[in-house]
Structure 1
Amino acid sequence: MLSIRTSIPLALLLLSGCVVGPDHKAPEIQLPAKFAEGGKTSNGDVSTVAWWNAFNDSRLNGYVTTGLAQNLSVLQALERINQAEASVVVAGAGALPSLTTQGQHTTSGRKGSLPTADSNVTNSSAGSLNISWLLDLFGQYRRAKESANANLDAAYASADVAKLSLLSSLVSAYIDARYYQERLAIARQNLSSRRETLDLTKLQLEAGAASRLDVVQSEGLVNSTLAEIPGLETNFRRAAHRVATLLGMPASSLVVELQRGARQPVARSIPKTGIPADLIRNRPDVRAAERSLAAAVAQIGVAEAQLYPSIELGGTITPSYSRISGGSRGSSNSWSFGPSLVLPILDGGRLRANVDIANSSAREQYLVWKQTVLTAVEEVENALAAINRDQRTASALRATVNSYNEALSLSTASYRDGASSLLDVLDAQRSVSSAQASLAQAVQQTAQDYVALSVAIGGGYAIGATPAKPAM
């Protein structure tokens, strides 16, 4: 038979290995084997794929490198990792012994006019050493630390989300800047062509081969082109300002640099989409949602542990020393040690309600995770459908521009020879201008959909960086 002195520590040891609450299991969801317009082959880890290199634009590549290093949203997300790491320490500290010490010194005496008013000066010094240890019998602090570790994982994933968002916003803003530059080039080219037509019409008016109406119509087309240019310049500057802000720079820092111009970005390839199941691994927002779910599940154990008794071991050692001026001196030491038991009996249902709240929160986080996965699948499907069709649109518009350019050449030559009216030339110019603008917009949209698809599959956020190890 075990004695009481032996059985009590043994029972405490056994209870210390008890952890209440459910263990987290990776959530599951039914997904299709492939995307509607994708293949059936997994694309593995795409987090280190620099998909923007497909645009073959060295300036854009430099902006991406700078943005990943100094974008303010990314830096804020990295600071939240530091906060989560400190929270892990805080969560685990409750299960460890606590030791505090304090000391004090007082000097006292008394003087007065009465014979009995005077007393000797007394110097007293005292200190105390306090130790306490709350035994984690039902895993409250172990579950709390488990939750904090899961939140730390979520913080790492959220930092990756911030990087992915930066890539999307930065490359998209750069594409917009180049689009408006292309539109400006088209407008200026059209302005030059329409001024030539106006000059020709004035000459023909002097020769009696044209009317004042022809001149006014030509002037109207020139002025409408002039009116279009300021709005395009404004939109270019807005895009340039956006690029600079994303790089953590004042808005106007890159306007002059971007005004040097470059062609519209055109991707040389279409990224491999992989299969829907890849998104659970590659999308950082999906991983963040799963880790938030794990943290919520651990909080159920924290709430359940509070339903059970808690035992705290505590002790105090208090030494003191006193010295009376001109008199005696001496010391005194006291100590105490013993356990304290807290047993919840009546709390108005508060502790049980906390368990219900924790369970509901975990169910909510599962629904958040599921919604995040389905939204990711939708984003890939949308981008894939768009990019496959955008290329056909751009190809048709290129042919349209060529046809209208030829029609403009023919109508202009015919007008010079007097075989056709000015209206034919003006209509041809309008058709060319409209087709060129549509083509520039189609090239822009194709590039934007390439960005959307690359971001939707979770690509590029870990480029040039060693992936951070999640907390265990």
Structure 2
Amino acid sequence: MRPILPLLSLAIMLGGCTVGRDYAGPPAAAPKAAGGAGFVRADEGQFTPEAPAARWWEALGDPALDALVVKALAANPDLATARARLRQARATFRVEKANGMPSVSASALYAHARIPGFDFGGDDNGDSGDSDGGGTSNLNLYNLGFDASWEIDLFGGRRRTVEAARASAEAAEASLADAQVSLSADVAQAYVNLRDRQTRIALNNASVAMQEQMLALSRQRLDRGTASRLDVTRLEGQLDTTRAQIVPLNAERDAYLNQLAILTGEEPGALDATLGAEGKLPLPPATVAIGDPATMLRRRPDIRAAERTLASDTARIGAVEAARFPKLSFMGLIGIGGTSLSALSHLDDFAAIAAPQLSWSFLDFGRARANIEKAEGVRDEAEARYRAAVLAALRDAESALSRFRYRRVEVATFARAKASADEAVRLSAERYKAGTTTLIDLLDAQRQQVAAAQSLSLAEAGLAGDFVAIQKALGLGWSDAG
């Protein structure tokens, strides 16, 4: 064993050497936002710099939506896929850590050989075999042994591989969180769309009923000669148009019911009984907490996944670069045994082998250099993707805030139009009671009231959708994967 000591000393001295670049953190992709600057389009009247809540959907105040999101986060198939990928990445990390440790295995062997043409001349005890005559010998062999192998991480290639695997596992964890963010937003958006379609279907049915009543009155007037055929034909066309508008709304309602069922891990149609009836459209709160851009960039899982991927690809450069240098490995073997079972008890009579091996592929015609350049290119691509993720996050947040801001103006405008239509119906009803206007005029005012309500419902659904988009852009809706 003494000749091995110099090699062990050399391995210990070189063990602290790690080639490749050390990861110094992500690049400064958005220095103004990272420095604490506020969102550009954030109005104080609508947005507050307070920290937003992770379970943002609860701010909509709809218990049915809360239950759907919770169920989706527990049973969605795509989320289960992301969890499985996280388990794989963590297992890979543990495997890479274990690969840097010595490998020890044990073996037990019994062999019986009948060899013709040989006579071992065994003794009376049969320790070395026995002969059955005719120059044929029978031989028994018993052996117990242990062998070990270990590759010394001289230049840190194994450490870089473990570092890369750890960062990849953290990227998988961030990807799972990003899937949770997208899923909660998809459930909320589908629920908002469903309630909007149900509301508009009810309003369209009310409009159809009014137009049918108007058409019946016009036909009566036509029979009495107080209305023209043109008036009746115009009302018939208007009624058919309104009826036709309900058809795509029904199809979209069914599609959103099926989408919600799939998102929650159910079969299509499973939620028809519980969500099929008309429900109230959830509306966002008066003020929305959005925090600040720097916190948002740290919170968004897709940015963290991109940053961890960059760290992993940076570490892999060192793992590839270590392949250019010599490798030192040790193999050892120790065993006991013989031609009889009693030989296994002779512990002082054993065979031992210790074999250090030094290998170095010093002539590879540029293969190692090309692999390093490839790894550096992968790392540069990861850095570019990280920068793009940061900028895209800021764009998503700013755009969502802007849309929400202007959508509120739209909702306020349609709300005033709806109030005017309500007042027109009230005045028309008073005039009809006083005999100064006809029932058709009153029904027409009511039809316009329904149209105003439809426009307001569509605008409110857009406002709720924009609220959902803000929460998704802020990276909310995920929980720690543990």
TM-score calculated relative to the size of structure 1 = 0.88
- Asked if the contact 1:303–1:355 (Cα under 8 Å) also holds between the matched residues in 2, the reply is yes
The residue aligned with 1:84 is 89
Say whether the 8 Å CA contact 2:218–2:227 is kept in structure 1: yes
The answer to whether residue 26 in structure 2 is matched with residue 34 in structure 1 is no
Counterpart in the other structure of 2:149: 132
| Partner Cα distance (2:364, 2:51) in 1 | 51
Counterpart residue identity of residue 359, structure 1: E
Give the deviation of 1:317 after TM superposition: 2.3
- CA positional deviation for 1:457: 0.9
2:363 pairs with 1:346: yes
What is the aligned partner in structure 2 of residue 400 from structure 1? 417
Q: How far apart in 1 are the matches of 2:9 and 2:395?
A: 56
Q: CA deviation at 1:184?
A: 0.4
Q: 1:377 aligns with which of 394, 402, 408?
A: 394
Report the counterpart of residue 65 of structure 1 in structure 2. Answer: 70
Q: Which residue of 1 aligns with 2:107?
A: 102
Counterparts of 2:443 and 2:206 in 1: how far apart (Å)?
15
Deviation (angstroms), 1:205 = 2.8
Counterpart residue number, 2:223: 206
Name the CA distance, whole Å, in 2 between partners of 1:45 and 1:4.
Answer: 65
Mark the CA change 1:267 to 1:329 in structure 2 (over 3 Å): closer, same or farther.
closer
Distance 1:14 1:129 in 2: 28
Gaps of 5+ in 1: none
- Residue from 231, 247, 272 that aligns with 1:230: 247
Alignment of 1:14-29 (within 5 A): 14-27=13-26, 28-29=28-29
Deviations 1:19-52 (A, max 9, x none): 1111111222223422211279995764x53211
Distance in 1 between the 2:232 and 2:48 partners?
64
- Whole-Å separation in 2 of the counterparts to 1:42 and 1:134: 58
Structure 2: segments with no counterpart, 5+ residues:
118-131
Deviation at 1:108, TM superposition (A): 2.8
What aligned pairs does 1:270-349 form with structure 2 within 5 A after superposition?
270-323=287-340, 333-349=350-366
Establish whether residue 56 from structure 1 lines up as the match of residue 57 from structure 2: no
- The 3-state SS of whatever aligns with 2:336 is strand
For 2:129, the equivalent position in structure 1 comes to none
Q: Which amino acid aligns with 2:200?
A: R
Using the size of structure 2 for normalisation, the TM-score is 0.86
SS in 2 for 1:38: coil
CA distance in 1, matches of 2:276, 2:43: 41
- Structure 1 residue 225 displacement after superposition: 2.2
Q: Is the 8 A contact 1:39 1:275 kept in 2?
A: no
CA–CA separation in structure 2 for the residues paired with 1:111 and 1:309: 48
- Of 182-191 and 194-203, deviating more is 194-203
Q: Which residue number in structure 2 is paired with residue 435 of structure 1? A: 452
Residues 403-412 or 94-103, more deviating: 403-412
Query: 1:343: how far off?
Result: 1.4
Q: Distance in 2 between matches of 1:51 and 1:439?
A: 24
Amino acid at match of 2:56: W
| Structure 1 match to 2:9 | 10
What CA distance in whole angstroms lies between the structure 1 residues aligned with 2:288 and 2:219?
Answer: 54
Q: Residue 204 of structure 1: SS of its match in structure 2?
A: helix
Aligned-residue Cα RMSD (Å) equals: 3.1
CA separation of 1:160 and 1:314: change in aligned 2, threshold 3 A: same
Residues 241-252 of structure 1: matches in 2 within 5 Å? Answer: 241-252=258-269
The amino acid across from 1:84 in the alignment is A
For the residue of structure 1 that corresponds to 2:314, the secondary structure is: helix
Identify the residue that residue 125 of structure 2 maps to in structure 1.
none
Whichever residue aligns with residue 68 of structure 1, its letter is L
Corresponding residue number in structure 1 for 2:121: none
Q: Deviations over 1:323-363 (max 9, x none)?
A: 59xxx999985321121001121012111111111112111
CA-to-aligned-CA distance 1:182-206 (integer Å, 9 cap, x gap) = 1101101101111221222233233
Structure 1 letter corresponding to 2:171: A
1:111-130 pair list within 5 angstroms: 117=134, 119-130=136-147
Match of 2:123 in 1: none
Give the Cα separation in 1 of the matches to 2:94 and 2:179: 25
Q: Comparing 330-339 with 314-323, which one deviates more in the overlay?
A: 330-339
Residue identity matched to 2:370: A
SS, match of residue 26 in structure 1: coil
Distance 1:56 1:44, change over 3 A: closer
SS at match of 1:253: coil
Counterpart amino acid of residue 31 in structure 1 = K
Instruction: Check the 8 A contact 1:122/1:323 in 2, yes or no.
Output: no
CA distance in 2, matches of 1:460, 1:411: 49
Structure 1 residues 202 and 63, CA gap change in structure 2 (3 angstroms): same
Per-residue CA distance 1:60-101 (angstroms, 9 max, x = gap): 111111111111111211111111111111112222101123
Per-residue CA shift, 1:266-319, capped at 9, x if unaligned?
Answer: 111342222222222110111111111110111111112111111101112243
Worse overlay, 118-127 or 246-255? 118-127
Query: Does the aligned pair in 1 maintain the 2:174–2:304 contact within 8 Å?
Result: yes
Alignment CA distance shift 1:353-1:290 (3 Å): same
Identity percentage of aligned residues: 30
Structure 2 CA distance, aligned partners of 1:329 and 1:135? 33
Cα deviation, residue 230, structure 1: 2.5
The number of residues matched between the two structures is 456
Q: Decide whether aligned partners of structure 1 residues 107 and 199 sit closer, same or farther in structure 2, where only a CA change above 3 A counts.
A: same
Instruction: In structure 2, give the amino acid aligned to 1:11.
Output: L
The CA deviation string for residues 97-127 of structure 1, in whole angstroms up to 9 with x for no partner, is: 0112333323233689xx9646343322334
Does the 8 A contact of 2:76 with 2:264 survive in 1? yes
Amino acid at match of 2:330: L
CA contact (8 A) 1:279 1:286 kept: no
**Separation (CA, whole Å) in 2 of partners of 1:171 and 1:330:** 73
